[in-house]
Structure 1
Amino acid sequence: MTRCQLIFVLLLFCRMSLAQDMIKHVHHRTDSTFFTENAGPQQSDYLESLEQVFQVLNKVPIVTSSFLNLDDIEHDLGQNDSAVAILKERMAYTHSLNIRSLQVYNTLLDKLAVTMKRYEDNLDEYRTKLEGLKKEILGLRKDTLIGQIFKDTALHTVFTPQLKRLRSKWREADSLLKSSTNVINNLKSRVAANNITIADLLFQVDAISDDLRYNAFGKEQSYLWEPPSFSVDSGAVEQDNRSRRYTGEKKLARYYFMNTSNIRFLLAITLAIYFYWVWFNFRSLRRLGKLSSINEFHFHYISPLPVIACLVFTLNLAPLFDPRAPAVYIEYSQLLLVLALGILFYRRLPKHYFMLWCIFIVLSFTLYFAESGHLLATYSGRWVRLMLNAVSAALAVYFFFTSKEKPGRSWLVRFAVIIYLALHLTAIVCNLLGRVTLSQIAGSTAAFSLSSAIGLMVFVQLITETFLLQIQSSRMRKNYPDSFEFVGIARSITKLMGIVAAIVWLIVVTNSLNVYDMLGDTLSGLFNTPRSVGKISFTFNGILLFLGIIWIANFFQKYIAYFFGDTGDDASIDDRNQRSRLLVTRLVLLIAGFFLAVAASGLPIDKITFVLGALGVGIGLGLQGIINNFVSGIIIIFDRPIRLGDTVEVGGKKGRVKEISIRSSTILTDEGAEVIIPNGDVLSHNIINWTLSNNQVRATLSFNLDKTTYTDAIQPDIKELVKTIPGIFLRKEPELAIEHVTSKAVRLKVSFWCTDVGSSSATSAAAREAIYNYLEKKGIEVS
């Protein structure tokens, strides 16, 4: 009996006792405290207590209806139970297990363990809520007013409607509490049973994997030149075992893919975003009539409808989205990548290289389908494997002897082919010596390592081309010049994407070699083990995470301007508003990156505060200048005494502000020199900003005229002439004045305003030439 049922019985018992007392003492009917005129509880007090009871009971359906995951957990546990049962059955046939199947089992068991942990957390949360409700209901017995209602007949008669509703509410609440408790307890028992089985199976997988890895280097079968050592019957049994093993692996792989559909959904979203990104930029250039502006980039792989390019892009990222996926998933994605690359290379590679790639496609598919069809599991199949490995190795050698025309990044291609050749030679040697498992692993890894390496080279090139397309599209939308220095930008993007490509390639190769889990566990133990220096505790993983996020934040703040077409040239300097916004964005990225790195790394905040305090002492002693420049940079960014594109004079240097960074600012002089001034020096000097509020500048020209030919009548004509010159600010009238007069000459001073300080020299020169020609036509001599 539950505690809720117990209190209900107690209340009924009180009511029965009350009935017996009423039979013996009838005078209670007229002697109730309810009808006495004293200072005892009033009717409102009883109603308030009843209202509290109703509020508690009303929580029950609300809380139980919030257990939204119970049905899903119960449904999914059925599939999980089936998967655990299949795994338990497969692990019973230890003689038919190999490293590949164990890798699939280990991946699936890890996934099941994570799923069971999530179910357990949900169920514990629901149970905690139910226990809280039960405690609230049990707490109602402390309310003396409710007990008095049941004891006093008159009170019971007065509150009969409320008590009827209370009984109905109680029955509903009691039913919900019992059913929810039973469901949760049942699910928790199933989850606990699965956890025990999963832990036991994981232990078995690890133990058998260690034995197989050790035995894989030993002789498994006879030498290839010797006759087979097993009979026809034993060969049939072995073939049947392999067939059942592959059938079980496929069932488990299907279960894994069904329960990780969100990863495939994310991949599909990534593909759609990348496709739209490329298509949108091509469409923008087409609408602007600027498609010819990308000719200098010599794009190889992206096009206005990059369907195959998007497929290659997504397939290369698949191992990164799900690094612990079963080997069959990596195999399928790599085979599809090989086909997509073949389509992409058509008419893009020289004919010789394209034919080599087509032969590689045939060899890869032949080897894979021969493996999956159990054609290589027999003695004769070992000879077929030997020939396939030999042909693949010969293909690699042929590439080296005929690759006179080196494709781009030839050293990377040659490195990938060397790995491909070495693995196939290893597979041949292992097959000859009876190391069948090692031969199979080396052969499949060779194909996947080469396809992944070539695919990732194309992936890096795709990202670089797409980024250059984005820059040029943004520049064209802002009417910037077509040409810009893109070589350095492309090189920087290639370096970053090269790091990502290397990580993905290592995931593919280690997964194919069936050492990913072992390597991951080793590295996890190395980097996640807590270490202490004095009183400070840390892990290598936290430090690497901290440094990595800081580096990524610095990279993005440095190159985010390129995404909006700002490459630092004169055209982008003129767009002051955008560059100011980008400057603030870069500062925000740096600050947010620092705090995110601290939060993600798990480093103790109090210890970091202590370190920053210690650094403060060092700053006060020797780093004053650096901090002064840093703080001055923040002041310049937000106070804006100078802005990007302003024409300024600072410390005797005049020019346009090209860059404002955290530490220093760069001024581009008229001679083309870039003057780097620390931000502290910028604020400590008097700043002459010619364009702080507007771009106008006043120019003055002087002419020495012959006094005998000069007349005041030319002044109105010169004023009108000046107004016709391009670049003159017409809202302010030109001014003419006689500055100096001698017996032979008159000095005429002409003052006017130019609309742009950057072009004031050209405007002044045009004005001087026009006035000189006018004076010459009038016959006035200019000395």
Structure 2
Amino acid sequence: MQKVDKSVFLTKVKSMKKYGLFIMLFLISSMVSAQDTVRPARKHAETSFFADSTGPGRSDYLEGFENIFQTLNKVPVITASFLELTAIRDHLAQSDSTLAILKARLSVSDKALTIRNLQMYNTLLDELDNNISSYTDNLADYSDTLKQIKTQILVLRQDTLIGRISRDTSLRTTFIPQLQQLRTKWKLADSLLRKNTAEVNDLKAHASANAIIVAELLYRTDAGLKALGINAFKKEQTYLWESSASNLDTSTYKNSSRDERRLTRYYFTNTSSNRHWLLLTCLLFFYWIWYNFRSLKRLNKIDAINSFGFRYISRLPIAVSLLFLLNLAPLFDLHAPAVYIEFTQSLSMLLLMIIFWKCFSRKVFMQWCVFICLFLLSSMFRTIDTMLTLQRWISFSLNLASIVYGLYFLFISLKNTELKALKFVIFSVALFVFLSLLAMLCNLFGRTTLSDILSLTAFYALAQSVSLAVFVQTIVEAFLLQIQSSRIRKHYPEYFESKTITRSIFRVATILAIVLWLIVFTTNLNLYDTLNDWMANTFTAARHVGNTTFTFSGIVLFLGIIWAANFLQRFIAYFFGDTGDDAAIDDKGQRSKLLITRLILLIAGFLMAVAASGLPLDKITVLLGALGVGVGLGLQSIVNNFVSGIILIFDRPLRIGDTVEIGDKKGKVKEISIRSSTLLTDNGAEVIIPNGDILSHNIVNWTLSNNHVRAMLTFTIDRTEHTADIPSDIKEIIRANPNVLARKEPEIVMSTINAKSLEMKVYFWSRDISQNDLTSSEIRSAIYSYFEQKGLEVA
């Protein structure tokens, strides 16, 4: 044991006495610390009393505990956020059974596969592949999250401050509650991390295994499609007139049907699609029609729509709304299997039967029932377990009956039926006959697969054509109902020119109907996937012009959005009852709102088109800058005409065929181009006017909203005692002319010239401005004849 030299200590105290008591205490503490090695039993008490103030204190240790607790508390929160684990586990389990069925169905020994089966398998495998990719991405995110929290915990283990507690008995005694809480949280976090890590790893392995199986089955499906696609044009069976002992394998067929139902059920249960948006669209369409009818009924103005002759929509449009839903179904689920398309088309046939029963004559209804019977017989005999030869003869007979039915309808019945008013009917019936004939010939020469495809396509193509014709007319009627109900709610006149509006809406609805028809038609022919892949590759491939890269899809998207914005800004006024006539000319607030809405739609459409197309904004900026320089260097006139042409095309102050006055020129608009427009005068001369000059002059358009024109005739007659009867008689003469607008009353104004003479001015409206001179001449002659009968002299 080391001893302290007291003489040395006293000497230090005397020499440093002047520094006071603080120095003495410091030396005493130094001495005591030096003697700690001699008396270890007093170590902890003296250390706690004379501890160095610069070391960690209780607050530092508590802060360290708080950091650990915060990190450990994240573990339950993070693992609880893994909400998709259970769903992924269930979906992968369901995909296992689905893949097992597909494996069995795609086995080499299975001879019951058709192109339609393989198309459905291909669609289902694509959806499974997308779902597995989504699961893999979610599991990868979960795995990364677990790695991050594990890394944070490993960093905490290296904290020396908390490690000091584990080595110091007194500190452990002081922080017993915190240590117990830490032990509990650590056990919980460790358990959760182990459990979730194991589960995530298992699901990742499961998803990877399924992805491998899906890739293999996709390869088999593509190979099968190529083989069957080639064999479909080859002779698969004997000629129909040759004997054949082939029978259908009943057990194989039953298993195949059961498996098909299970696969279809899996597709609609577990695949993501926009079918809920389809249902919402149908409900909005139903409410739209129902609300407008209710508005008219509440205002006692139901008779205001009688002139339109609505055939399909009614106060409770359940049938047409369901038909609207079924026609739009392919657009909301482009990659659905063919069985889904067939199901929607079959329902459409039944709905059309209800609509025809309500809207058409008994003859039309019975003809449609005959078509339904042919379709049901054709579908039924394809699913009956019978000899292959007998089935082929039945199909041959049904195809022959279909041809006879189509020819009868096309050449005899259609001429005397209301269906001739529906568009596409002649084309669709002719196509039905043609496809049925091809199906019959293919069956006759042993091409059974191709015969079945063509026969089903014939029925579905005709049914969808009629359904889409009703669909287009329903949209037109719904728009006319909206316009009329809006006008009545705003107290506008009930009458408006509906022909131009009807033609425009019909044109747009027809384009949509053609797209829907092509989707279903190519799906029934098992060509949709092939065409879709070809179009995707063609339109998404990068093209290079110099340093600029673009795709056809970007250009189409750009033009499509611009067209949609222009369409909306043109037709949005119809929803508010503004049809471009003089009904709302005094409603300045309404016109201002519409103008602002149109500008917003055009600007937003352009910005969306640029953003969606992927066009490089820097190059557009450079182009606009170069254009600005060009304008400054002398292209003002060209740019003025160009911009004016765009304004004329979009704003449409004049249209082709309008009768207009521009400055001192009058005539019909023959052509509107980007730089100039052409007027055709009454003398046959063609006047070419730059578009900039058109907008710089006042434009008098006689036919902007209608072809009506007001005419005036002046007569000077003798004053008689029967003068009071003249106005009513002349009005009757005017009304008798067929080109006079009956809904606007003629006006007769008589003024006195002198005691013997009267000046009479006759005002009336002509229906067609092009016939105004002829109408005025006929009415003038009729009035002169009337005056002669009355014995009046006309100056």
TM-score of the two chains, using structure 1 as the length reference? 0.74
User: What pairs with 1:434-513 in structure 2 (closer than 5 Å)?
Assistant: 434-513=446-525
TM-aligned CA deviation for residue 602 of structure 1: 3.1
The separation in 2 between residues aligned to 1:504 and 1:497, in whole angstroms, is: 11
Cα distance change, pair 25–590 in 1 and its aligned pair in 2 (3 A): farther
TM-aligned CA deviation for residue 151 of structure 1: 2.6
Q: Note the alpha carbon deviations across 1:44-81, whole angstroms, 9 max, x for none.
A: 22222221111111111111111111111112222121
User: What pairs with 1:50-199 in structure 2 (closer than 5 Å)?
Assistant: 50-92=65-107, 93-199=109-215
Cα distance change, pair 80–27 in 1 and its aligned pair in 2 (3 A): farther
The separation in 1 between residues aligned to 2:556 and 2:536, in whole angstroms, is: 13
Letter matched to residue 381 of structure 1 = Q
Which residue in 2 is equivalent to 1:573? 585
Question: Which of 385, 389, 411 is the aligned partner of 2:395?
Answer: 385
User: What pairs with 1:279-428 in structure 2 (closer than 5 Å)?
Assistant: 279-374=290-385, 378-402=388-412, 403-405=414-416, 407-409=419-421, 412-428=424-440
The separation in 1 between residues aligned to 2:233 and 2:188, in whole angstroms, is: 67
Letter matched to residue 302 of structure 2 = L
Q: Does structure 2 retain, via aligned residues, the 8 Å contact 1:29–1:153?
A: no
242-251 or 205-214, larger mean C-alpha shift: 242-251
Matched, 1:41 2:51: no
TM-aligned CA deviation for residue 344 of structure 1: 0.5
Which residue in 2 is equivalent to 1:536? 548
TM-aligned CA deviation for residue 158 of structure 1: 2.0
Cα distance change, pair 457–536 in 1 and its aligned pair in 2 (3 A): same
- Taking only the aligned residue pairs, the percentage that are identical comes to 50
Question: Which of 266, 269, 277 is the aligned partner of 2:288?
Answer: 277
Q: Does structure 2 retain, via aligned residues, the 8 Å contact 1:103–1:514?
A: yes
User: What pairs with 1:613-628 in structure 2 (closer than 5 Å)?
Assistant: 613-621=625-633, 624=636
Q: Does structure 1 retain, via aligned residues, the 8 Å contact 2:642–2:691?
A: no
495-504 or 342-351, larger mean C-alpha shift: 342-351
Cα distance change, pair 344–610 in 1 and its aligned pair in 2 (3 A): same
The separation in 2 between residues aligned to 1:215 and 1:627, in whole angstroms, is: 60
TM-aligned CA deviation for residue 277 of structure 1: 0.8
TM-aligned CA deviation for residue 484 of structure 1: 0.7
The separation in 2 between residues aligned to 1:94 and 1:253, in whole angstroms, is: 19
TM-aligned CA deviation for residue 426 of structure 1: 0.3
Question: Which of 213, 218, 221 is the aligned partner of 2:229?
Answer: 213
The separation in 2 between residues aligned to 1:409 and 1:27, in whole angstroms, is: 113
The separation in 1 between residues aligned to 2:155 and 2:395, in whole angstroms, is: 76
Letter matched to residue 456 of structure 1 = L
Which residue in 2 is equivalent to 1:755? none
Letter matched to residue 307 of structure 2 = E
Letter matched to residue 402 of structure 2 = S
Q: Does structure 1 retain, via aligned residues, the 8 Å contact 2:422–2:469?
A: no
What is the count of residue pairs matched by the alignment? 619
The separation in 1 between residues aligned to 2:450 and 2:564, in whole angstroms, is: 39
Matched, 1:520 2:535: no
Q: Does structure 1 retain, via aligned residues, the 8 Å contact 2:381–2:394?
A: no
TM-aligned CA deviation for residue 587 of structure 1: 1.3
Cα distance change, pair 580–26 in 1 and its aligned pair in 2 (3 A): farther
TM-aligned CA deviation for residue 241 of structure 1: 2.5
Letter matched to residue 357 of structure 2 = Y
The separation in 1 between residues aligned to 2:628 and 2:582, in whole angstroms, is: 40
The separation in 1 between residues aligned to 2:564 and 2:530, in whole angstroms, is: 28
TM-aligned CA deviation for residue 282 of structure 1: 0.3
SS of the residue aligned with 1:40?
Answer: coil
The separation in 2 between residues aligned to 1:291 and 1:586, in whole angstroms, is: 31
Which residue in 1 is equivalent to 2:739? none
Q: Does structure 2 retain, via aligned residues, the 8 Å contact 1:628–1:680?
A: no
Cα distance change, pair 34–414 in 1 and its aligned pair in 2 (3 A): farther
Q: Does structure 1 retain, via aligned residues, the 8 Å contact 2:382–2:391?
A: no
SS of the residue aligned with 2:359?
Answer: coil
SS of the residue aligned with 1:527?
Answer: helix
Q: Does structure 1 retain, via aligned residues, the 8 Å contact 2:275–2:333?
A: no
User: What pairs with 1:730-745 in structure 2 (closer than 5 Å)?
Assistant: none
Q: Does structure 2 retain, via aligned residues, the 8 Å contact 1:104–1:249?
A: no
Could you tell me which runs of 5 or more consecutive residues in structure 1 were left unpaired when the two chains were aligned: 1-21, 633-650, 654-662, 664-675, 686-783
Matched, 1:204 2:216: no
The separation in 1 between residues aligned to 2:75 and 2:423, in whole angstroms, is: 70
TM-aligned CA deviation for residue 410 of structure 1: 5.8
286-295 or 379-388, larger mean C-alpha shift: 286-295
Q: Note the alpha carbon deviations across 1:530-582, whole angstroms, 9 max, x for none.
A: 22112222211121112111111111011111111111222212211122112
Question: Which of 595, 610, 613 is the aligned partner of 2:607?
Answer: 595
SS of the residue aligned with 1:537?
Answer: strand
TM-aligned CA deviation for residue 26 of structure 1: 7.3
Could you tell me which runs of 5 or more consecutive residues in structure 2 were left unpaired when the two chains were aligned: 1-36, 645-661, 665-673, 675-688, 699-795
Cα distance change, pair 166–395 in 1 and its aligned pair in 2 (3 A): same
Q: Does structure 2 retain, via aligned residues, the 8 Å contact 1:315–1:333?
A: yes
Q: Does structure 1 retain, via aligned residues, the 8 Å contact 2:406–2:429?
A: yes
TM-aligned CA deviation for residue 271 of structure 1: 2.2
The separation in 2 between residues aligned to 1:570 and 1:182, in whole angstroms, is: 75
Letter matched to residue 332 of structure 1 = F
User: What pairs with 1:656-735 in structure 2 (closer than 5 Å)?
Assistant: none
The separation in 1 between residues aligned to 2:606 and 2:41, in whole angstroms, is: 81
Matched, 1:605 2:605: no
Cα distance change, pair 227–81 in 1 and its aligned pair in 2 (3 A): same
Letter matched to residue 397 of structure 2 = M
SS of the residue aligned with 2:549?
Answer: strand
Cα distance change, pair 33–580 in 1 and its aligned pair in 2 (3 A): farther
Higher radius of gyration, 1 or 2: 2
TM-aligned CA deviation for residue 495 of structure 1: 1.1
Cα distance change, pair 26–134 in 1 and its aligned pair in 2 (3 A): farther
Matched, 1:267 2:278: yes
The separation in 2 between residues aligned to 1:200 and 1:622, in whole angstroms, is: 66
